[in-house]
Amino acid sequence: EVRLQESGGGSVQAGGSLTLSCTASGFNLADSAVGWVRRAPGKGCELIASTGDTDHIAYIEAVKGRFTFDQESATNTIYLRMSSLKPEDTAVYHCAAKTLGGPTWSAACESYSPYDAWGRGTQVVVSS
């Protein structure tokens, strides 16, 4: 069974740091396109960091220089290291992976997505 489980969310003041982790089972993250997706209250999903067919990691402009995507093959885990957090970073953060051909309906985003495997999400709240 394909599963993703996030952890590491929480509440932090602006300027603080958090590290999210996502552990996979049932498939190998290193062989899949993976990403971190967030959904802020009342907004749509944002794919904030992702890998594709290469080892290149793409970030949206809003998190460049503040967030770092890491992958640890030995534990089948990916990380999102977040620093200089801002109130606008408040969201539910999901890890997601493409293990099948897509697109696939994402209940988390209420839209079609290239990712078919999703974690349940972890809440990040940044207060000013």
Do residues 50 and 34 lie in contact, with contact meaning Cβ atoms separated by under 8 Å? yes
How would residue 37 be classed by pLDDT, with cut points 50, 70 and 90? very high
73-126 per-position pLDDT tens digit: 999 999 999 999 999 999 999 999 999 877 888 989 988 888 999 999 999 999
Question: For position 78, what pLDDT does the model report?
Answer: 96
Q: If you average pLDDT over residues 14-39, what whole number do you get?
A: 95
Nearest-angstrom CA–CA distance, 6 and 10: 12
Nearest-angstrom CA–CA distance, 67 and 86: 12
Do residues 42 and 91 lie in contact, with contact meaning Cβ atoms separated by under 8 Å? no
Q: Which amino acid is at 13?
A: Q
Question: For position 52, what pLDDT does the model report?
Answer: 75
Whether 53 has a pLDDT exceeding 70, the answer reads no
38-52 per-position pLDDT tens digit: 999 999 999 999 987
Question: For position 87, what pLDDT does the model report?
Answer: 97
- 90, burial (CB in 10 Å: exposed 0-12, middle 13-18, buried 19+): middle
Question: For position 103, what pLDDT does the model report?
Answer: 86
Question: For position 126, what pLDDT does the model report?
Answer: 98
